[in-house]
Structure 1
Amino acid sequence: MRSPIDSYLADLHADLLGLSSGAPYQGIPAMKDADNTKFAIAMATVDGHVYQVGDAELEFSIQSISKPFSYALALDDIGLDAVDEKLDVEPSGDAFNEISLSRDTGRPANAMINAGAIATISLIRDADAPRFERILAHYSAAAGRQLELSDSIYASEALTGHRNRALAYLLRSFDIIETDPTPVLEDYFRACSVMVNARDLALMAATLANGGTQPATGVQVMGKEAVQRTLSVMTTCGMYDDAGAWISAVGLPAKSGVGGGLIAVLPGQLGLAIYSPALDPHGSSVRGVAASERISADMGLHFVRAARLGRSAIRENYDITRLPSHIRHSEAATKLLAQYGERARIIELAGDLLFAGTESMVREVSELDACVELVVLDLRRVDEVDKIAVQMIHQLQRELAAESRTLALVQEIPFEPLASLRSFPSRNDAVEWAQATLLARHGTADMVPETVAVRDFAALAPLDGADIALLESLMEESRIEDGRIIRRPGEEFGGVYFILGGKVATSTLQGGRAVRQATLSAGMTFGEIALGGEGEQTTRVTAVGRAHLKVLSAASIARLETENPGAALRFWKAIARDAYTRVEENIKDSSYPLH
């Protein structure tokens, strides 16, 4: 089944494709004619799952999105103190190519502007391997695949990068760069000319979100201290002179590039990447900014909102054969449910359904086997349901319905925005519904009969016709209105009740409220547990709808024992065998009711 997150991104992509403002970057000849119709969105979670739409495999140059990854490499190479001697961490408030150097020390304002990025390259070690080889290997490790340099873009950068050359020599004059600035500048141009696609960038951003560990490969690409510093500087400086508006509207550490790429990071949860070459006056992708604002708002990603560590909300995922309902079924129905029970699955959720929890839930449902017809989301242990969760659950319901599948919820206290969906107050109620649905779809009418004659009760199957006729002649018939209590806890044995039609529910009192234990339907019995005469009723039994009963009362059983002890003994054996069979079938369920 298509994930609702894929559907959301597809709709967003189609909506924003109509944005026509902006133009490709004109400062590098090899990039000025980029195709404005190209547009991609990719999201990678911290466990390596990637959602993508549009031209997500189309390669373009990384440009300034290289800066945070170079900065992290330098921090890992020589440490925070040594880097801080050369680079400040303050927002410049200027465009990406402004000078923004300290008047006294010549330190660049931060590592995200060009001057700071050139200085960063000079701090990366090159004793064990050529510096750019290490840079390319570092970027590739974060992307999870081998990236390549574009010779044509590098040549174009080197041909037109006069301002960057001036910055490099100015940095050398302050001893921020302590060696010949030309090789440093060449490696800076090369770093900006590495080719990536939106999927690569999403995984690189997710590597930052994952504390420096590449989500798909598990390789520790960066140290946690370097990641913390890098994300901090991205938060305040990554979007240059648009940083304030960005952090207010989107609320994520981010970095844009004049190649048309943009990344954003939600620590602990995901990396977001967008590609579209038309740029705004700040040098950021027009569609990239618009898409980021929409995704952050719709999915609740702003760091003020989504500050908790992302984790799966999945507690358990199992089919209904593992924990059947308390309904007693016929032998044929039981066999059918054993065969088809895997087609109804219960997914227990826990914690918060913010973005990370919602994403894990959506993915779990979307990846269910195609044979699964019924999906039950158990929300009883969920603490908070964010608007993205509401949106995605409704979308799941629509996607499942389109495939003739059904979604249901378990909510002890219904959450108002989900009130329109099929919902049950307990898991047992949901399983009862799932069993009845499977029986109706795959069984025959006699598996869940509306009425059953006494002679057809499974409990009396060992008896011959004469014994059954004798028992029925001693029974009293009654019709019980909906909601009427038939038996109460503590009452002495009142007989064995045979349900000819309708249903009854057994319940116990827990914490001052009645908790349903079992639902019994036509062809089933209750009351027999206290058959010994000295026992007591242990549950409350209530009619569910109008119930049609026959009861073999305690007095009638006593009469049978006196007048026909052989028939009484055979009756006792049949009832005992039936009770034992039911206990054995429900042994996995510790809450099996004694009624």
Structure 2
Amino acid sequence: MNSPIEKYLHQLHAEIAELREGQPYAVAPKGRRVDPEDFGICLATVDGYVYEVGTTSKEFSMQSLSKPFSYGLALEEHGLETVDAKVDVEPSGDSFTEISLAPKTGRPANAMINAGALAVASLIKGAGGKTAINRIADFYSGFTDRQLASHRGVYTAERRNSDHNHALAYLMSSFGLLESPPTTALETYLRQCAVQITCRDLSLMAATLANSGTNPVTGHEALGVEAVERVLSVMMTSGMYDNAGDWVASVGMPAKSGVGGGTLAVLPGQAGLAVFSPPLDVHGTSVRGEATCRRMSADMEMHFVRSARAGRSAIRAIHSIAYVPSAVRRTDEAAAILRELGDRGVVVELTGDLLFAGTESVIRELSSLDEAVEFVVLDARRVDEVSTMSHTMLATLEKQLRHAHRELVFVDPEDRLATAVGAEESTIFLTRSMAIAHCEDQLLQRHSPELSTPSKVPVTEAAAISSLSVAEAEELERHMESRFYQDAEVVRRVGQRFDGVYFIVSGRITTTARDAEGNRVELGTLGPGMTFGELALGREQRQEVTQRAQGAVEVKVLSAATIDHLEKHDPRLAGEMWRALTREAFTRVDQYMREVTSLIRDYY
């Protein structure tokens, strides 16, 4: 099933592709054609999953996208103090080509403008038998999952059109800010600008920065946390040059653009976004790249203020409903069928925040479920903050599932998700057991309707007395009285003395107890054909749980007084009754033990 996130990206791509403003960068090697229609979007998560739409595998030049990564390499090799002596960290508010040098020291304002990038490039030298550019390309490669390289033709074309940068290099050299001859610094800078990447590569590079410098695909630590912190800080304030202030206010992600058509944005702790589209605006930024970032920040709530918490999967656990079945007692035949059908229903336990990263992890997991899965129980009891984007994406997913004849079921007692997603009331439950019981009922109805729980079961067909003959069961029923209860009405409560055995004719009975903090905990649900009340005989003949009607309920009661009468006047029938009830009680205890074992496995 297509992910709602993929669907959103395809729709966004189609809309943004209609933008026709801007012109591609004019400097290129002879014979290398730039296609203004190229347009790709890649979104890489901090666990290494990449969403791709459009032109994502075509190589293009990094150009100024190289600046933050070379800045990171210089910081890693020389430390903050040494690099800060050559390059400041102040927003210039100027174009990337401006001569933004401090009056007294000559220091460039930051490493994102060309003057600062030249100073940084002069700090990177050849070593270990490798040239400076080979070391740079290897370093960049650590941020993606393939080897990158500089393009000689692109470098040559840039060199022919670099008079302004030549002048900058010599001016900075006059201030003593370059650690290599001006022409060498310029060559290193232009060759790093000529490194070839794809949109997918760029998204992984952004995701590596989002992941505190560790490549989410390879696990390689490409950059230390201290350097990542500095790089992202400077990108936030200066990465978009003279458009930086508006960018921080409206988009709110550290970002960098390049005249090669690439744009990257980083959502720390959560994801990296990359866009490739050659037509540029007056700031040298891709028109579609900027529009895409702005739209996604708004639609997906990716502004750093909204998504300030570190991204991690919001899924605590996922398992089939057979792993932790409901507390509803089933016949042996129905229980066996549900064990076979258990994988057709899954429980997804959520935890923490459903912001961008948390929602993405849930959407991805649910979109990739096996086609055989018919029911998905979304347990939202441990969910904290939920974003509007989460509601929107889950609503889309719910519609997709319903269209495919699959059902999304909610365990949502505080209504953090269900109502906003537009879920039907019949699919919203207070407890997980109730939600799983609903799925079990539906599975039986679909696949083995003859075994599904009937709405009404005569006492003579109750499982507890199935070992009695028909005549014995009918005789026992003649001694019973009928009782009726409304929804939520207490049938038996804690502390009540044994007053007989209850046979459920129709409706359901829920059994609850109080935990150590006084909260009500559901222990199980009984349906037509089942019995309760006899366990009060276990301890001082007092009830240890409370039983309530779930909907309208009809029961027939074999009262304690009637049982005493039978024991005195028809001991044979009384003995057969107790034998049958004892066998049923042991069966019930065995089922409870299996359920408790499953819960213990789930918890630990």
Q: TM-score range by the shorter chain?
A: over 0.9
1:465 aligns with 2:466: no
3-state DSSP of counterpart to 1:143: coil
* Cα distance in 2 between the residues matched to 1:59 and 1:159: 22
The change in CA–CA distance for 1:94 and 1:484 in structure 2 (over 3 A counts) is: closer
Q: Which amino acid aligns with 2:110?
A: N
> Structure 2-normalised TM-score?
0.94
Q: What pairs with 1:52-71 in structure 2 (closer than 5 Å)? A: 52-71=52-71
Question: Please, which of 550, 553, 557 is the counterpart of residue 551 of structure 1?
Answer: 557
> Structure 1-normalised TM-score?
0.95
1:527 aligns with 2:527: no
**Counterpart position of 1:585:** 591
Q: Which amino acid aligns with 1:44?
A: A
**Counterpart position of 1:217:** 218
**Counterpart position of 1:256:** 257
* Cα distance in 2 between the residues matched to 1:10 and 1:459: 58
Question: Please, which of 458, 474, 482 is the counterpart of residue 477 of structure 1?
Answer: 482
Q: Which amino acid aligns with 1:74?
A: A
Q: Which amino acid aligns with 1:326?
A: A
Q: How many Å apart are 1:531 and its aligned residue?
A: 4.2
Q: Which amino acid aligns with 1:104?
A: K
**Counterpart position of 1:114:** 114
**Counterpart position of 1:418:** 421
Q: What pairs with 1:93-104 in structure 2 (closer than 5 Å)? A: 93-104=93-104
CA contact (8 A) 1:212 1:220 kept: yes
What is the percentage of aligned positions where both structures have the same residue? 49
CA contact (8 A) 1:62 1:192 kept: yes
Q: How many Å apart are 1:31 and its aligned residue?
A: 9.7
Q: How many Å apart are 1:402 and its aligned residue?
A: 2.7
Q: Unaligned stretches of 5+ in structure 1?
A: none
Q: Which moved more, 1:43-52 or 1:529-538?
A: 529-538
Q: Which amino acid aligns with 1:417?
A: A
The change in CA–CA distance for 1:229 and 1:481 in structure 2 (over 3 A counts) is: closer
* Cα distance in 1 between the residues matched to 2:518 and 2:77: 64
* Cα distance in 2 between the residues matched to 1:481 and 1:167: 86
Q: What pairs with 1:145-224 in structure 2 (closer than 5 Å)? A: 145-224=146-225
Q: How many Å apart are 1:42 and its aligned residue?
A: 0.7
Q: What pairs with 1:161-560 in structure 2 (closer than 5 Å)? A: 161-415=162-416, 417-418=420-421, 420-421=423-424, 422-508=427-513, 515-531=521-537, 534-560=540-566
Q: How many Å apart are 1:362 and its aligned residue?
A: 1.4
* Cα distance in 1 between the residues matched to 2:458 and 2:88: 87
Q: How many Å apart are 1:591 and its aligned residue?
A: 11
For this pair of structures, how many residues does the alignment match? 592
The change in CA–CA distance for 1:276 and 1:499 in structure 2 (over 3 A counts) is: same
**Counterpart position of 1:34:** 34
**Counterpart position of 1:25:** 25
* Cα distance in 2 between the residues matched to 1:30 and 1:157: 12
Q: Which amino acid aligns with 2:437?
A: E
**Cα deviations across residues 4-28 of structure 1 (Å, max 9, x unaligned)?**
1111111111111111111111244
* Cα distance in 1 between the residues matched to 2:30 and 2:276: 17
Q: How many Å apart are 1:29 and its aligned residue?
A: 5.9
Q: Which moved more, 1:415-424 or 1:285-294?
A: 415-424
**Cα deviations across residues 100-125 of structure 1 (Å, max 9, x unaligned)?**
12233222111111111112111013
**Cα deviations across residues 181-206 of structure 1 (Å, max 9, x unaligned)?**
22322221111111111110010011
Q: Which amino acid aligns with 1:581?
A: T
Q: Which amino acid aligns with 1:556?
A: T
Q: Which amino acid aligns with 2:81?
A: D
Q: Which amino acid aligns with 1:404?
A: H
3-state DSSP of counterpart to 1:93: coil
CA contact (8 A) 1:30 1:153 kept: no
3-state DSSP of counterpart to 1:149: coil
The change in CA–CA distance for 1:489 and 1:132 in structure 2 (over 3 A counts) is: same
Q: Which moved more, 1:263-272 or 1:514-523?
A: 514-523
**Cα deviations across residues 446-490 of structure 1 (Å, max 9, x unaligned)?**
431222233322211222334323322322234444444332332
Q: How many Å apart are 1:282 and its aligned residue?
A: 0.4
* Cα distance in 2 between the residues matched to 1:169 and 1:37: 38
Q: Which amino acid aligns with 2:65?
A: I
**Cα deviations across residues 228-262 of structure 1 (Å, max 9, x unaligned)?**
11111111111111111111111111100001100
Q: Which moved more, 1:25-34 or 1:337-346?
A: 25-34
CA contact (8 A) 1:332 1:447 kept: no
The change in CA–CA distance for 1:348 and 1:483 in structure 2 (over 3 A counts) is: closer
CA contact (8 A) 1:198 1:273 kept: yes
CA contact (8 A) 2:444 2:451 kept: no
Q: Which moved more, 1:147-156 or 1:25-34?
A: 25-34
Q: Which amino acid aligns with 1:577?
A: R
Q: How many Å apart are 1:280 and its aligned residue?
A: 0.8
* Cα distance in 2 between the residues matched to 1:293 and 1:327: 50
**Counterpart position of 2:7:** 7
* Cα distance in 1 between the residues matched to 2:356 and 2:165: 40
CA contact (8 A) 1:495 1:531 kept: no
3-state DSSP of counterpart to 1:309: coil
Q: How many Å apart are 1:176 and its aligned residue?
A: 1.5
**Cα deviations across residues 383-410 of structure 1 (Å, max 9, x unaligned)?**
1111111111112112222322111211
The change in CA–CA distance for 1:38 and 1:142 in structure 2 (over 3 A counts) is: same
Q: Which moved more, 1:21-30 or 1:479-488?
A: 479-488
**Counterpart position of 1:130:** 131
* Cα distance in 2 between the residues matched to 1:210 and 1:591: 38
Q: Which amino acid aligns with 1:546?
A: A
Q: Which amino acid aligns with 1:576?
A: T
CA contact (8 A) 1:31 1:153 kept: no
* Cα distance in 1 between the residues matched to 2:215 and 2:520: 51
Q: Which moved more, 1:170-179 or 1:132-141?
A: 170-179
Q: How many Å apart are 1:512 and its aligned residue?
A: 6.6
CA contact (8 A) 2:510 2:524 kept: yes
Q: How many Å apart are 1:549 and its aligned residue?
A: 2.3
* Cα distance in 2 between the residues matched to 1:223 and 1:31: 40
3-state DSSP of counterpart to 1:79: helix
3-state DSSP of counterpart to 2:143: helix
**Cα deviations across residues 324-349 of structure 1 (Å, max 9, x unaligned)?**
22211111111111111121111111
3-state DSSP of counterpart to 2:222: coil
Q: How many Å apart are 1:63 and its aligned residue?
A: 0.8
CA contact (8 A) 1:492 1:533 kept: no
CA contact (8 A) 2:312 2:358 kept: yes
Q: Which amino acid aligns with 1:423?
A: I
3-state DSSP of counterpart to 1:41: strand
* Cα distance in 1 between the residues matched to 2:552 and 2:213: 64
CA contact (8 A) 1:373 1:405 kept: yes
Q: Which moved more, 1:223-232 or 1:560-569?
A: 560-569
**Counterpart position of 2:568:** 562
**Counterpart position of 2:601:** none
Q: How many Å apart are 1:509 and its aligned residue?
A: 5.2
The change in CA–CA distance for 1:147 and 1:521 in structure 2 (over 3 A counts) is: same
Q: Which amino acid aligns with 1:572?
A: W
